[in-house]
Structure 1
């Protein structure tokens, strides 16, 4: 098969022919139809963690070719079914499989069935970012989820207790980076949390004014929005939240001063989740009233993940159980609309030269878009998707 292969010495990736994988017990072989790009895919090609020869890439959609059944992990997957999911690609030191290839294998419980009304391109844009948002909204911040998961493993952290963590009454939730891929899913999931709990939610977001109309409309339905370019936006958020601040904040950028500012919108006792850890040094803030809650989406894989130095994401059975429950909810018709996608030309051959060039290899604020082709316009409220 053809696959996008990491060359860590040259800090790039190239399309090569390699042996197609075979599924082991409890795994499914998938013919990939579409892939969606995430910033980590470009980041860890430009700044490699893995060794040369790794298949890169995370998000995918496709059709089932073969299911290797495991009596201990029953599944209803069958050949020809339309599915989507995510792998880790070359985003760790320890070897992990990647998705940017014509075929891949994935655990049967970490894919979800794609409805006929959803295209492969749309489905490819869901798995990683939607799970990231779900982990923050339900698993870390503790809002009521529209599905249940087993919390008996004992590794659940105190600050992410299952169930709605807000006091009775109106719940005020603020999302910084509301038009990012994660932010778009987070808004929808906050709405699902309100439906699950029966509580009223005030949803406030920060984004570019150019995206306000989109964010006010379904399925996001923001109650109030602030311009992230306005230096006074934190005080505006507190004022919109009745003057006392919000119950929950979610920083979908987590760079520079954003974490400090988002934390400053919280009421006393409020909580904030972030998408980057302190150890990553994308942001720094001292003397915060509340420590931001961080967790990597890779926890959902249920395996140890090693980064630079001593940075280690420990295997968590509960985080894996949560991911399985979330994807089961999607399979069963969970109400989540796929993000807008930009279908990029060229397939695997153009991922590095075009897609990774648009994403950049560092902070969101450092992205550059100087190419003249229409599909190379700067990214805003879209996922880059390639058909394979």
Structure 2
């Protein structure tokens, strides 16, 4: 099979021929049809954490099960059956651990960390959901404590006493922001709680974000120097109860923090080192965690070791089981990000996709390329098709 392989010592990425992996107990073999790009894919190629001689890169994937592990032959779970359409994510080169990524023609994965894709959704669209969707779910439910529709009521009694919970999503049109908004609405529907959803985004995206499934109550332009004051005004002077900073870089952390009321909480998705902020300067400490914890392994990351977290893995399995119910009841649980289908397959991920993503801060992205598919990224995911679904 072909795979996109990083040589960490030289930071070079190339297409290599590798043996097709064999599924072990609890795993399935997947023919990958589509992969979606995330900023971490480019960042940890330019700044490798991987210590192996070679490492398959990549995070999000969707495809079709072609074989199952020795213990799954009699499983009744749809995700453990040959022919199942599934999606999930791998850690790629984003750790020192020896675990291959998703950018390959065939991969293996634990079946319970996959979700069954409904027939109504393309595999290209499904490839955009897994990592970013779980990240949003971890932030909104596990860290901010909003009621979770698949993991029980997690709200505190103090939250429940409020007539309206004011939730801010900074950078609402990002991939993470699009999923976070849907999580907030799931929380409201599952609990009956009144939530006022407030977002920051470029004014050109406001009409899009007012529509289903995002349905923001209030939107402000983050370029407006008075956006923080406008956010506070939208809360009737109460301040923000829960905030999701989808950028989590330097000034965004400080500014989102300043919209919080005295009992507020905020979720961030980059640590102080990568995000270049100092938590000691903040009265309310941002809550940070890693999506990779959901995979259930020990993680070697930026000079530290994050121990395996069984609770995070259990949360991930519940989340993916929740998404999988769409395959049987036909009701899609999360609307996928808008897809920008990029040309060229595996061979063009690095020269095109990574060029668009950049390898540093989101605010520093730029490209001089003129092709339409190389336009700046906004409210969409870059997706590469590896094989047509009818093949």
The answer to whether the Cα contact below 8 Å between 2:248 and 2:275 also exists between their aligned partners in 1 is no
Please name the residue that 2:104 is paired with: 101
The answer to whether the Cα contact below 8 Å between 2:171 and 2:201 also exists between their aligned partners in 1 is yes
Please name the residue that 1:158 is paired with: none
SS across alignment from 1:362 = coil
Match of 1:384 among 375, 382, 385: 382
SS across alignment from 1:167 = helix
Please name the residue that 1:163 is paired with: 154
Please name the residue that 1:159 is paired with: none
Please name the residue that 1:244 is paired with: 238
Q: Cα deviations across residues 129-155 of structure 1 (Å, max 9, x unaligned)? A: 000000001111111111127xxxxxx
Match of 2:208 among 214, 222, 226: 214
Match of 2:115 among 112, 115, 135: 112
Task: Give 1:9 shift.
Answer: 2.6
TM-score (normalised: structure 1)? 0.94
**2:269 equivalent to 1:266:** no
Size of the aligned set, in residue pairs, is 375
Cα distance in 2 for residues equivalent to 1:218 and 1:185 = 12
Task: Give 1:283 shift.
Answer: 2.5
Matches within 5 A, 1:332-351: 332-333=325-326, 335-351=333-349
The answer to whether the Cα contact below 8 Å between 1:299 and 1:316 also exists between their aligned partners in 2 is yes
The answer to whether the Cα contact below 8 Å between 2:3 and 2:18 also exists between their aligned partners in 1 is yes
TM-score (normalised: structure 2)? 0.93
Task: Give 1:74 shift.
Answer: 5.5
The answer to whether the Cα contact below 8 Å between 2:27 and 2:108 also exists between their aligned partners in 1 is yes
Task: Give 1:75 shift.
Answer: 5.6
The answer to whether the Cα contact below 8 Å between 1:75 and 1:109 also exists between their aligned partners in 2 is no
Task: Give 1:281 shift.
Answer: 4.5
Matches within 5 A, 1:143-222: 143-148=146-151, 163-165=154-156, 166-168=159-161, 169-222=163-216
Deviates more, 1:88-97 or 1:140-149: 140-149
**2:58 equivalent to 1:67:** no
Task: Give 1:313 shift.
Answer: 2.3
Please name the residue that 2:30 is paired with: 30
Task: Give 1:10 shift.
Answer: 2.5
Cα distance in 1 for residues equivalent to 2:175 and 2:335 = 12
Cα distance in 2 for residues equivalent to 1:284 and 1:231 = 22
Task: Give 1:286 shift.
Answer: 3.8
The answer to whether the Cα contact below 8 Å between 2:279 and 2:285 also exists between their aligned partners in 1 is no
Deviates more, 1:73-82 or 1:101-110: 73-82
SS across alignment from 2:56 = coil
Please name the residue that 1:41 is paired with: 41
Which consecutive unaligned segments of at least 5 residues does structure 1 have?
Answer: 150-161
Q: Cα deviations across residues 216-254 of structure 1 (Å, max 9, x unaligned)? A: 111000000111111221111111011120110010001
Cα distance in 2 for residues equivalent to 1:298 and 1:95 = 14
Matches within 5 A, 1:310-325: 311-325=304-318
Root-mean-square deviation (CA, aligned residues, Å) is 1.6
Cα distance in 1 for residues equivalent to 2:10 and 2:273 = 26
Deviates more, 1:277-286 or 1:133-142: 277-286
Please name the residue that 1:284 is paired with: 278
SS across alignment from 2:101 = coil
